[in-house]
Amino acid sequence: MTRRWRDGPGSLVIPRDDGGTAVTVPLEIAASYRARTRGLLGRDTVEGAMLLSPAGSVHTFGMRFAIDVAYLDRRLTVRAVRTMVPGRLGLPRLRSRHVLEAAAGAMAGWGLRPGARLTVEPVQPPQG
């Protein structure tokens, strides 16, 4: 399932391995070239996570804090999860279509691991 999102807020839904209630995390979607290029640069933290789409790799040059990075395929299945310190270049991952970024340690706290199939729910602007 290939999707095109717009820049803006959303929610990330992470299923639980034990069948418990899914974890919902605030999400910032960066789908435009400009938003993906800026990413988390210049920030001191991130609330929730940021989804870069499309993206196959990331770097942490100019970052102020370590981040967790999850590489997702077209179906939003987690292919790999890594923690990156500032000043590093992440290698591209085979079949990655999207990259999810969060503060270091956050993804483990959410129970996010390879094989999990995520759901992204963009927040729709009010009509009217």
Predicted pLDDT at 80: 96
Report pTM.
Answer: 0.90
pLDDT confidence of residue 1: 42
Mean pLDDT of the chain: 90
Task: Summarize pLDDT for 32-77 with one digit per residue, the tens.
Answer: 999 999 989 888 889 999 999 999 999 999 899 999 999 999 999 9
Q: What is the pLDDT of residues 11-36, one digit of tens each?
A: 999 998 777 889 999 999 999 999 99
Q: What is the 3-state secondary structure (H, E, C) of 53-118?
A: CCCCCCECCCCCCCEEEEEECCCCEEEEEEEECCCCECCCCCCCCEEEEEECCHHHHHCCCCCCEC
